[in-house]
């Protein structure tokens, strides 16, 4: 069931079969039909390994995301799904590689063993050794997220700074004066996780601009941590009337914490943030939030990567998205401050 077998049965040479199938050189109509018939009869499909070896391309892209442990969030799922789907449309397969760092064995395999033609990096950090490494190698890659010096790279990112600022302005416009920020876990912040940093940054600056009193918190990626975080917020400053979060996994816990504290959303307390809309619509009342267009971002990342693969010296391209805030039901005017 290899190309030699086909050639023999069709009474031609191996190269003729190859050309007949690829169309890279003309082949007479008669032989082409004969070959096609044999191929159909035997259900022949050329071996991906052999083809990859011969023409130096695997038709596979790597999707690099950090290993579990830190739970996966819904956003990541949407990225994965849309990347796989978009890649399939270009006839690329997707190889998953769980690695947080440059030095990961999994990452080394992807590159060193040339298993993939290009890579998409998720969960970007401001200083990201994976991205730096790939850039230094000139290896075709696209980041989902922006590093600290993004100008020269290929990426599709979310403007977390602007988005967090928009959330602050939304709350300030509603009259809120004391606002908390619920970030991702501290460990992510320490390692320089992009969205956590830029989100915090945008929040802090916008809050200063509007003269708000703020407190910022890190919060584990689960409901229990969210609930605990709200307790801390209300303990630290009971007069807090709103919060901004980009921690979707904690969202349910934040709501529960507010409910336990007797704060009604949105009457007594407003909550907003940056969250995949799947989650925003799951909670009650539904979350007013900047919806992360994860599916679109995954698709764009693949588009960019394919463009880069097709044209290896194309200049870097980027997509920086700023989705609007979807007004739902979790924010309202600030009432009279409580004690």
HSE value, Cβ hemisphere, 13 Å, CA-based, for 85: 13
Using rule CB under 8 A, residue 259 touches its own copies: yes
Distance between CA atoms of residues 179 and 240, nearest Å: 6
213 contributes a contact to DNA by CB under 7 A: no
Residue environment code for 296-307, b if the CB has 16+ CB neighbours within 10 A, otherwise e: bbbbbbbbbbbe
Measured from the CB atom, the residue of 45 and 336 that comes closer to its own copies is 45
DSSP state of 250: G
- In whole angstroms, what is the distance from residue 55 CA to residue 44 CA? 19
Q: Does 108 bind DNA (CB under 7 A)?
A: no
Residues 16-75 that bind DNA (CB under 7 A): 16, 18-19, 21-22, 24-28, 30-32, 46-47, 50-51, 53-56
Smaller CB separation from DNA, 69 or 112: 112
Tokens representing 80 are 């994965």
**Structural tokens at position 237:** 């400053």
Q: Which does 27 bind (CB under 5 to 8 A by kind): DNA, its own copies, none?
A: DNA
- Give the chain's end-to-end CA distance (angstroms, integer): 80
> Which residues in 230-249 contact its own copies (CB under 8 A)?
249
Site for its own copies in 294-333 (CB under 8 A): 295
Q: Which does 82 bind (CB under 5 to 8 A by kind): its own copies, DNA, none?
A: its own copies
- Residue 139, interface with its own copies (CB under 8 A)? no
Contact partner, 31, from DNA, its own copies, none, Cβ < 5-8 Å per class: DNA
Residue 11 CB, nearest distance to its own copies (Å)?
A: 24
Helix axes 3-10, 14-22, angle to 10 degrees: 100
14 binds DNA (CB under 7 A): yes
- Please, which residue, 204 or 227, has the CB nearer to its own copies? 227
DSSP 193: B
**Of 4, 41, 88, 327, the one binding its own copies by CB under 8 A:** 88
How is 120-186 classified by DSSP, letter by letter? EE-S-BSS-HHHHHHHHHT--EEEES--SS-TTS-EEEE-HHHHHHHHHHHHHHTT--EEEEEES-H
In angstroms, the Cα distances linking 307 to 70, 154, 311 are 32, 11, 6
- Report the interface residues with DNA, using CB under 7 A: 1-4, 11-16, 18-19, 21-22, 24-28, 30-32, 46-47, 50-51, 53-56
Using CB under 8 A as the criterion, which residues of the chain lie in contact with its own copies when the complex forms? 43, 45-53, 58, 60, 63, 67-68, 71-72, 74, 76-78, 80-82, 84-85, 88, 93-98, 105-106, 108-110, 112-115, 222-224, 249, 251-253, 255-256, 259, 278, 281-284, 286, 295
């Amino acid at each position: 069931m290899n190309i030699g077998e086909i050639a023999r049965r069709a009474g031609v040479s191996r190269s003729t079969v190859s050309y007949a199938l690829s169309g890279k050189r003309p082949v007479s109509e008669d032989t082409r039909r004969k070959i096609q018939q044999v191929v159909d009869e035997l259900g022949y499909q050329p071996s991906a390994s052999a083809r990859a070896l011969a023409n130096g391309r695997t038709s596979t892209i790597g999707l690099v995301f950090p290993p579990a442990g830190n739970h996966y969030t819904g956003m990541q799922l949407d990225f994965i799904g849309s990347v796989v789907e978009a890649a399939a449309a270009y006839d690329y397969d997707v190889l998953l590689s769980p690695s947080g760092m440059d030095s990961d064995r999994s990452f080394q395999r992807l590159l060193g063993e040339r298993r993939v033609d290009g890579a998409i990096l998720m969960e970007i950090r401001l200083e990201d050794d994976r991205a730096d490494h790939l850039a230094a190698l000139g290896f075709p890659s696209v980041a989902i997220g922006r590093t600290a010096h993004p100008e020269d790279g290929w990426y599709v990112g979310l403007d977390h700074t602007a988005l967090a600022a928009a959330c602050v302005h939304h709350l300030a416009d509603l009259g809120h004066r004391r606002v908390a920020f619920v970030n991702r876990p501290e460990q992510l912040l320490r390692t320089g996780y992009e969205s956590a940093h830029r989100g915090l940054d945008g929040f802090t600056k916008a809050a200063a601009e509007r003269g708000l009193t703020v407190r910022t918190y890190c919060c584990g990626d689960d409901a229990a941590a969210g609930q605990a975080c709200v307790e801390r917020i209300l303990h630290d400053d009971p007069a807090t009337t709103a919060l901004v979060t980009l921690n979707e996994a904690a969202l349910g816990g934040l709501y529960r914490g507010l409910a336990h504290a007797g704060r009604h959303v949105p009457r007594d307390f407003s909550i907003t943030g940056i969250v995949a809309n799947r989650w925003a619509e799951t909670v009650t009342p539904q979350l007013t939030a900047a919806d992360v267009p994860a599916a679109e971002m995954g698709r764009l990342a693949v588009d960019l990567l394919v463009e880069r693969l097709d044209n290896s010296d194309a200049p870097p391209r980027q997509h920086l998205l700023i989705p609007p805030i979807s007004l739902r039901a979790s924010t309202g005017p600030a009432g009279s401050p409580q004690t």
